[in-house]
């Protein structure tokens, strides 16, 4: 029996998110699971109480080391990220025997980037972003349909039928201000590959982020939220 199926490169790559992005691309290509870009997002409120939920990773940018996801800024996660702009994510591809963990700092995506992504969503999703006060209580399923129908009326649209293939009525639905992207700026990344006989392979990369001031004066060359130090990497015992 081979001692291992696959292991991380040795020596470890200088930065980890290129490999993570290639794993995501491979998971997408191989169609081994319906939502290969699903990831668990953990946040915590100001008291330190953690919460977690599944969301979709829409982009991994190895340079500058950022993951992007989209949600409602007023949702529970949105409120927690407002109080405590730090988060951790986990992606897991069971069939590929790989796991990615990222911890870091959170900022809103630019309005232009959120607008551009919102415009790619189907009309039901765009309507839903206006209709749903994500994470707020609602008395019944019927009330939820009513809220969607009321929102459709506001946009002079028919209430969306349950058929997801219903043709786009072609109405412009702008992005609601409470909905958009977040950038998770990685401060720590761990890549994990399952080994045989439980001798898994793990490595952790860390770096230091320095907040750029709002006017970009700390790093005038980059219109970015953070300046990043170099990655340092180490293998971990399984
Ligand atoms: C596969 C899957 C993908 C999801 N993707 C998203 C997403 O990209 N954005 C989002 O806001 N919620 C997404 N959700 C719903 C979230 O899990 C969650 O119910 C919602 O965001 C409210 O979370 P909160 O109350 O903690 O803010 C997804 C759920 C599943 C199961």
Report how far ligand 1's centroid is from the alpha carbon of 55 (Å).
Answer: 5
Q: CA 136: distance to chain centroid?
A: 21
Q: If DSSP codes are grouped into helix, strand and coil, which group holds residue 50?
A: strand
- Domain presence at residue 136: no
Is 203 part of any domain? Answer: yes
Domain tally for the chain?
Answer: 1
Kindly report, residue by residue over 176-189, the tens digit of the pLDDT: 999 999 999 999 99
* 198 classed as catalytic: yes
Does the residue 103 lie in any domain?
A: yes
Global model pTM greater than 0.85: yes
> Residues lining ligand 1, CB < 6 A?
35, 38, 51, 53-56, 69-72, 75-77, 134-135
Q: What is the CATH number of the domain that holds 45?
A: 2.30.110.10
Average pLDDT rounded to a whole number, residues 224-238: 96
95 in any annotated domain? yes
What are the tens digits of pLDDT across the range 160-180?
766 677 778 777 899 999 999
Please indicate, yes or no, if residue 189 is contained in any of the structural domains.
yes
Which atom of ligand 1 is nearest the CA belonging to 43?
26
Which conformational region is residue 22 in: left (phi greater than 0), alpha (psi within -120 to 50 degrees), or beta?
Answer: alpha
Question: Which residue's CA is the nearest one to ligand 1's atom 6?
Answer: 55
**Does residue 179 sit within a domain?**
yes
- The residue whose C-alpha atom lies closest to atom 28 belonging to ligand 1 is 55
Residue 79 belongs to domain spanning: 17-125+171-236
> Domain for residue 139, yes or no?
no
Q: Where does the pLDDT of residue 2 fall: very low under 50, low under 70, confident under 90, or very high at 90 and above?
A: very low
Mean pLDDT computed over every residue of the chain: 92
Q: Which of 37, 41, 56, 74 has most ligand 1 atoms within 8 Å of its beta carbon, as the pocket-test mutant?
A: 56
Q: Where are the alpha helices (DSSP H) in the chain?
A: 17-30, 76-83, 111-120, 123-131, 141-154
Q: Taking Cα atoms as reference points, which of 39, 45, 37, 135 lies closest to residue 86? A: 45
How confident is residue 207, by pLDDT bands cut at 50, 70 and 90?
A: very high
Which listed residue (121, 175, 198, 204) is catalytic? Answer: 198
């Amino acid at each position: 029996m081979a001692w291992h199926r696959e292991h991380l490169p040795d020596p470890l790559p200088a930065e980890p998110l290129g490999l993570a992005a290639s794993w995501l691309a491979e998971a997408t290509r191989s169609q081994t699971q319906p939502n290969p870009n699903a990831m668990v997002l953990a946040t915590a409120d100001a008291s330190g109480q953690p919460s977690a939920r599944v969301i979709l990773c829409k982009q991994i940018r190895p340079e500058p080391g950022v993951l992007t996801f989209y949600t409602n800024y007023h949702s529970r996660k949105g409120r927690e990220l407002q109080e405590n702009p730090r988060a951790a994510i986990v992606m897991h591809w069971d069939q590929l025997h790989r796991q990615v963990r990222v911890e870091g700092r959170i900022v809103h995506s630019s309005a232009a980037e959120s607008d551009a992504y919102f415009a790619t969503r189907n009309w039901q999703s765009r309507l839903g972003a206006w209709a749903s006060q994500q994470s707020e209580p609602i008395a019944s399923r019927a009330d939820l349909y009513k809220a969607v129908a009321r929102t459709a009326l506001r946009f002079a649209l028919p209430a969306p039928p349950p058929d997801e293939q219903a043709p786009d009525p072609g109405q412009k639905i702008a992005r609601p201000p409470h909905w958009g992207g977040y950038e998770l700026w990685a401060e720590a990344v761990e890549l994990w590959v399952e080994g045989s006989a439980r001798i898994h392979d793990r490595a952790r990369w860390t770096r230091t982020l320095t907040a750029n001031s709002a006017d970009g004066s700390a790093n005038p060359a980059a219109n970015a939220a953070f300046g990043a130090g170099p990655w340092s990497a180490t293998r971990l015992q399984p």
